[in-house]
Structure 1
Amino acid sequence: MSIGTKIRNLLRRTGHEVGLHASAMRNRRTDRPRVLFFPSGRREGASLLRAYNMADALTRTGWHAAAVPADLKLPARRRVIRHFAPDILVFQQCRHALNDTALRYGDPVVLDTDDADFFLTIPGLVERLQRTSQAAVGVMAGSQFIQEWHAQHNANAAVIWTGTPITAGPRPDHHARQSDGPPILAWAQAAPLSYVNELDFVRGLVADLRAQGAAFRLRFYGIATEEERDRLRAMFPDLPDLQMLPPMGYDAFLQSLHQVAVGLSPIITRNEFSRGKSFGKILGYLDAKVPVIASDEADHARFFTETTGVVTNDRDEWLRQILALLGDPDRRNRMADAAFEAFPRDLSIEAAARKTDAFLRDLLTTR
């Protein structure tokens, strides 16, 4: 690493820490409860939705809340904690080596997790996760499957689904989405080549759709390199309208979904990690009014109904429903509108904040 890069990183970390100290000073005299979130990653994905966004949402409900960037090292974390004087610390996952109750931060810790990280083989992660789950005053789990694992280690484990801010503005009608060509069928998994079983499932569906004479364009997301593009082209050699979009920011991702006719969310549980998936990219589909076809795994069936989406593990039913939706923009409009109406109640950031607020306040009253 060059000296210039080291200096820039130091200045960035210093700026982050100064901002947190300034926030602590501005709110020093308030009697609002205080919570610090410690995301495991950058301001994207689960770290964005369950740490940064949640801190902002709780601030609107009467908390003094902030998210501590993952690049702050242990001494800076300790300084921020002393000055901020939080009532509760929230560790968003334990993938960050410093999200570990063994480091004895001195404040009650809540573990927040929305992936089945107990199946990962990252050195030290499972031990850190179990240790933190056991020592935490509570666990907020992104799905029932994850809650059940943590309930073995913590008696106070609750399901709180990941919520997202709902964007403003109109969404295109589904007739307009195919005005420039066949409707787009999308699998919005960020790293599709890493999900071998799910990718095989999608390949089989595409072959069957083409055999049925369906007209559509297939879209993948998160394709970062030419090597990845070559691998996908080799898997779909006879598909002329294969779209491979590069990694992008979340706002751009949501905007791109305005072009999509049908969104796929397959989960094949031969990969144990997949059993713990939360709603993930389904949140983007809902925001963009994209009809969803999902596996009957995770908590999909707890949210979707017959009118708001398709939840099934029957491959033939997947094929029938995709064909029906691709061929009927009015049907897509009806399903997407019904799902969008249910979206704020269960999967918005406000819905998640209400549950998180109640969970954390209950901890304060029982301490």
Structure 2
Amino acid sequence: MNPLKLKSWIGRHVRESTVHIQRLQPASDLKVVFCVDGPRNGQSAGLRGYRIAEALRPLGWRSIVIPPQLDLSQRQRILKAEQPQILVLQSSRPLLNRPQLYPEQICVYDLDDADFLDPRDEAKQAVMNCATGSRAAIAGSHYIANFLKQYCQQVEVIWTGSTPLKYSQSPVKENPPIICWACANPHAMHEEASLIQEIMMGISGNLRCQFWLIGVQDLKKGEIFVQPMVDRGIPCKVFPFMPYNKLLDTLRSVSVGLAPLVIEKSPFSAGKSFGKVLAYLNTYTTVVASDCVEHPLFFRSGDNGILVSSLSEWVESVEFLLSNPHKSQHMAEKARADYETRLSTEEAAKRTDQLFRQVLNLS
């Protein structure tokens, strides 16, 4: 056997063995299997897959997670052994996440990104196939839900949640205060990146601050991006994409987190929900966000964050927070409390549990 094929075969079977280890958990009349679309991390697969599966167990579910590397025969072997009531297909990006491949299963499709806006016809068709072939669908935002409702009768909006950190006291923020933009790949979000530069260049030179850019794939590009700010005398740091726990540790020092979405020029952004905003909220980082998509459904501007619609509002809001650190801290504390009740993994799991029971006519 080709060495690369052998390595792949070994990897798949090692991963399958870890799935069977999950099957050692207590028996239950309620069983669900998640076919996730990526690794266990701070992105969709981790937050909407692995962590939801774990959080469903105290609610009475026996939950198993199948990693995307497993082939069809491995998946079928696990499903035959497990006999779940529900099979969750997380996104249509993995080619094996197709309801048509599992005709005996009740499928629930989970979509957290606007993949139907992909210019490739096959990508949009994959989303439509998953939606039409599933008994129900979970949407990460109302924008995504509105699309899915054309193809699936039962669609529920469930925001991505994360696990609240435990603190003995609120994190101590650095001085001068840090303004941050955390993004999975800032340079792929061209419109938002340009807006961030304009915001930072517009802040009054009389206000002391720092700027951190988190999540770059190319550190050199990141350094070029912040150079105009450095030239203005703003200390800057550039961080690569990092594991989620490290991101949370890094954000503990940050005072203001920026969450721009330019949906007028970047339609894909319209499908976003909270993303790295979850990390801001978890670390008592005051959020300034675009007044669009899901943001107005969570933030009460001036109370638990600030919503803005224009460049001048962005600049004025950041300057206000820099000039009023106590008010900024008060907003962060309110947002953190709201996050625990509305955007935690536990809350997302409760809503997922309710949907599953509706699908099975148990509620």
Q: TM-score range by the shorter chain?
A: over 0.9
RMSD: 2.1
In structure 1, the partner of 2:153 is: 155
- Return the offset for 1:203: 1.1
CA shift, 1:120, in A, is 1.5
Question: Is this contact kept in 2: 1:54–1:353, CA < 8 A?
Answer: yes
Aligned to 1:213, which of 206, 216, 220?
206
For the pair 1:338 / 2:337, whether they are aligned, the reply is no
Structure 1 residue 168, shift from structure 2 partner: 1.5
Q: Distance in 1 between matches of 2:244 and 2:236?
A: 22
Matches within 5 A, 1:8-157: 8-24=7-23, 26-27=25-26, 30-44=27-41, 45-122=43-120, 124-157=122-155
Q: Match of 1:185, SS? A: strand
Residue 302 (1) aligns with residue 301 (2): no
Secondary structure at 2:20's aligned position in 1?
A: helix
Paired with 1:122 and 1:36, the residues of 2 have a C-alpha distance of: 29
* Runs of 5+ consecutive residues of structure 1 not aligned to the other structure: none
CA distance in 2, matches of 1:8, 1:297: 46
Deviation at 1:20, TM superposition (A): 2.0
- Per-residue CA distance 1:114-161 (angstroms, 9 max, x = gap): 111111235622111101101110011111111111011112111111
Residue 242, structure 1, aligned to residue 219, structure 2: no
Native 8 Å contact 2:230 2:236 kept in 1: no
Residue number in structure 2 paired with 1:264: 258
SS in 2 for 1:72: coil
SS of the equivalent of 2:222 reads helix
C-alpha spacing 1:234/1:140, structure 2 compared with 1 (3 Å): same
Question: Structure 2: where are the runs of 5+ without partners?
Answer: none
Alignment TM-score, normalising by the size of structure 1: 0.92
- Quote the Cα distance in structure 1 between the aligned partners of 2:25 and 2:252: 40
Q: Distance in 2 between matches of 1:94 and 1:108?
A: 16
TM-score (norm 2): 0.93
Q: How does 1:161-240 map to 2 (within 5 A)?
A: 161-170=159-168, 172-173=170-171, 176-179=172-175, 182-210=176-204, 212-233=205-226, 236=229, 238-239=231-232, 240=234
Separation in 1, partners of 2:169, 2:262: 31
User: Which moves more between the two structures, 309-318 or 259-268?
Assistant: 309-318
> Is contact 1:261–1:291 with CA below 8 Å preserved after alignment?
yes
Secondary structure (helix, strand or coil) at the match of 2:23 reads helix
Cα deviation, residue 13, structure 1: 2.2
Name the CA shift for 1:229/1:332 in 2 (closer, same or farther; >3 Å): same
Greater shift in the superposed pair: 228-237 or 128-137: 228-237
Q: How does 1:282-361 map to 2 (within 5 A)?
A: 282-306=277-301, 307-361=303-357
Tell me, in whole angstroms, the C-alpha distance in 1 between the residues paired with 2:222 and 2:311.
Answer: 26
- Count matched residues: 359
- In 1, distance between residues paired with 2:323 and 2:8? 52
Using the alignment, how far apart are the partners of 2:24 and 2:330 within structure 1? 50
Q: Give the stretch that moved more between structures: 325-334 or 246-255.
A: 325-334
Which amino acid in 2 is paired with 1:16? R
